[in-house]
Structure 1
Amino acid sequence: MNSIRKIDHLAFEHLMEREPKSWCMAFFEVDRACVTYENSISESFNSVIDLAKKRPLLTMLEDIRIYAMERMYKMLLEGQSWAFGIQKYEVRIGNDGYVVDLTSNTCGCRSWQVPGIPCVHVVATISCLNRNAEDYVAAWFHTSIFLTCYNHTINPLNGSSMWPEVSYMKPFPPQKRRLPGRQPLKGKGINLQGKARGKEGILSQK
């Protein structure tokens, strides 16, 4: 933190105002298979449905339903094509030593527990034993876990012209509202009111 303060004092103050568990890996919980706190899944989904969100309500929901149905089927097929895969050692790099436990999937540097992917010390141990490093990746990345996300399907539907009539009132379009800030000018008009003076005025009227 002292090094950060020397580089940028505002960045130092910004970080100090926040809980370290939300930005410092030293305080991250283990067995989460993630090295960052973010909402990439939500952002990815929003970017996909960006066009659908601009459409009427029912059309938007239909577009989202079809996208989700197609994606779940596609990812299920992809996951089914993957191959399944799963003592204590001291690993030394120079004067530093790290305990690698392949039974509990831990390393002294914690760089295996936090992201769920073997660190350099674990890879060195696995290579020495002539084993496959992929077998020691966290279960969150296994094919079986991936398939559980897409284990259910969304059934197809007939088009809206075949939907049954209901007695509910149809939704109205949203009311127009004035956006904040200065409104853009639609175009420059010519003011013909009043009397023109001189040649310039006559030309402007024409």
Structure 2
Amino acid sequence: MEKAKPVVTDYLRRHKKLWTRRQFKTICKVDYVTNNLAESFNNWIKQYKSMNLDDLMDKIRQLIMIKWNQRRKIGKKLDGFILPHIIKKLNEQSRELNLDVSECSEEVAEITLFGGSGFRFVVNLVDRTCSYRQWQVSGIPCKHALAFITALPNAPIDKYVDFYYSIEKFRGAYSALIPAIPDKT
């Protein structure tokens, strides 16, 4: 790449910090980044790949229509504010914490590993921030924020999860109908 595109190579070397997850902008909430999306999609449609393009596209539309309807039905059954799998994950993570919480106030605390490794993370519950930055990037409280939240009396974890993971957002995402059509024409 150096010989073919020296400008690109130079840019990547000068901006290497932009490629780390902790430097991501916090506007887009992602729980994880996966490179298996294309593989999953290809596996989903593999039995239809031999179809003509127009037939394949119509089949994909139909598969998506069915999938969205299934998700709509799931959304109707959900209760609470945040998606259950997110709450379950946070409850599991909160049981395995080995962190010391030093409160500045009811909203701000320093979090360190028991035994004092020297690394300290500042958590602000009002701003929903942690100096570790995972909370801002994902929208889900990191282990440092969880340690602080669970140290507070009667603090519900779901209050600190981004609205992106709400049941209302889930329902909204699948509320539009993909129309049923009589034929591909």
- Relative distance call for 1:64 and 1:77 in structure 2 (3 A) is same
Q: Does 2:101 match 1:92?
A: no
Identity of aligned residues (%): 28
How far apart, in 1, do the equivalents of 2:124 and 2:160 lie? 11
How far apart, in 2, do the equivalents of 1:108 and 1:68 lie? 40
Larger Rg: 1
Tell me what 1:33 maps to.
Answer: 29
Tell me what 1:187 maps to.
Answer: none
Tell me what 1:113 maps to.
Answer: 136
Superposition deviation, residue 132 in structure 1: 2.6
SS at match of 1:131: coil
Superposition deviation, residue 71 in structure 1: 0.5
- Relative distance call for 1:96 and 1:58 in structure 2 (3 A) is closer
Q: Which runs of 5+ in 1 are unaligned?
A: 1-12, 164-206
- Relative distance call for 1:37 and 1:92 in structure 2 (3 A) is closer
TM-score (norm 2): 0.65
Contact 2:122 2:130 in 1 (8 A): yes
- Relative distance call for 1:119 and 1:45 in structure 2 (3 A) is same
Q: Which runs of 5+ in 2 are unaligned?
A: 1-8, 83-105
Contact 1:20 1:27 in 2 (8 A): no
- What amino acid is aligned across from residue 30 of structure 2 in structure 1? C
TM-score (norm 1): 0.59
SS at match of 1:109: coil
Superposition deviation, residue 36 in structure 1: 5.8
Superposition deviation, residue 144 in structure 1: 1.6
Q: Which has the higher contact order (CA 8 A, sep 6+)?
A: 2
The superposition leaves residues 137-193 of structure 1 with CA deviations (integer Å, 9 ceiling, x where unpaired) of: 222221122222211112223357xx7xxxxxxxxxxxxxxxxxxxxxxxxxxxxxx
SS at match of 2:137: coil
How far apart, in 1, do the equivalents of 2:74 and 2:149 lie? 28
Q: Does 2:178 match 1:154?
A: yes
SS at match of 2:78: coil
Length, aligned pairs only: 148
